[in-house]
Amino acid sequence: MNLCDVNVVKRIMSKYQTGTKKAFGQNFLINRQIPMSISEESYSYHQEKNFGKESAVIEIGPGIGCLTNELCACYDKVVAVEIDKTLIPILSETLAEHQNVTVVNEDFLKLDLSEFISEHFGNATVSVCANLPYYITTPIIMKLLEQARKCDGSSRLTSITVMVQKEVADRLCANEKSGDYGAISASIAYYGRAVKLFDVAPDNFLPAPKVTSTVIRIELYNEPIYKTQSEKMLFRVIEGAFMQRRKTMVNSLSAAFSSIPKARIGKIITELGFDINIRGEKLSVENFCALADKFYEELK
């Protein structure tokens, strides 16, 4: 069954008396080459980092299963999390030929990710692959990054390969030399390396979205490579630095840390060797770690 054939998709939707739902950001792929390429990008990197081990992947929002089918053909074990209960019987039919897939009817954002991985994968290191609903792209990615660490600091995830809006991809993959760089860019860079893989035009979907999509991969560091005294403080500083993008970092951080005098914030910034008028978009993750440590010491 070609789940990317528009006639097959329409027949399945009609059979189960359902359709795509705007509330869940559903757009189904109708060009099989796209899910094949997404799956291969995810699997090839996973195998490179986990050679000789059982391969495992989490898919978020499988829809009717077009990407799931391709993942099942590559990975040893696939667990797909689908929030829309009306799609569960459809997935039972479209994935019937695969014995290596489990479909879980849950809201991914409400899952305890660590418990979920342990329950379904034991101690295995897994990857994530998904055609994400555009309206919750950032919350899902941040949940994956924040909750995928073991107690010893190592990552339960090898990589996150996802399709997102092109303009979102620009921000997710930006560095401090780019105008698209912001709080989400710096936060992702702390956990891993984000790279763009390829663009996907609107006519590859049913219904066709109004924007171009981009497939990206976040290659997670197995262990943190940036040192900081407090991750909580690091992300507070990053958020504060971009809270008022048009203002200098002194002004923006003053608004975010009202308990520290503005003059003292300016002194901290210059003590680290930065220009007093520097803005947050000029700082690398390593710079933010140094700044966060100063704020941590200040507020102890």
Cα 80 to Cα 87, 102, 201, 223, 230, distances in angstroms: 12, 6, 25, 26, 33
Do both 28 and 97 map to the same domain? yes
Q: Which domain holds residue 244?
A: 231-299
- Are 185 and 119 members of one domain? yes
Of 18-22, 27-31, 90-94, 218-222, the least confident: 18-22
Domain final residue, candidates 220, 242, 266: 220
- Predicted local distance difference test score (pLDDT) of residue 58: 98
pTM of the model: 0.93
Q: Which of 198, 220, 242 is the last residue of a domain?
A: 220
Domain count, the chain: 2
Q: Is residue 202 part of a domain?
A: yes
Residue 267, domain member (yes or no): yes
Least confident of 7-16, 236-245, 256-265: 7-16
Whether 242 and 175 share a structural domain = no
pLDDT for 24 equals: 47
The last residue of one of the domains, among 220, 251, 267, is 220
Report how far residue 82's alpha carbon sits from residue 102's, in angstroms, rounded to the nearest whole number.
11
Give the CATH number for residue 285: 1.10.8.100
Q: Which of 59, 34, 55, 36 is nearest to 46 (CA)?
A: 55
Average pLDDT, the chain: 92
Whether 27 and 105 share a structural domain = yes
Q: Judge whether 1 lies within some domain.
A: no
Tokens of 23: 């509330």
Instruction: Please report, for the domain that includes residue 167, its CATH number.
Output: 3.40.50.150
In tens, the pLDDT along 157-176 reads: 999 999 999 999 999 999 99
Q: What is the pLDDT of residues 126-162, one digit of tens each?
A: 999 999 877 889 999 999 999 988 878 889 999 999 9
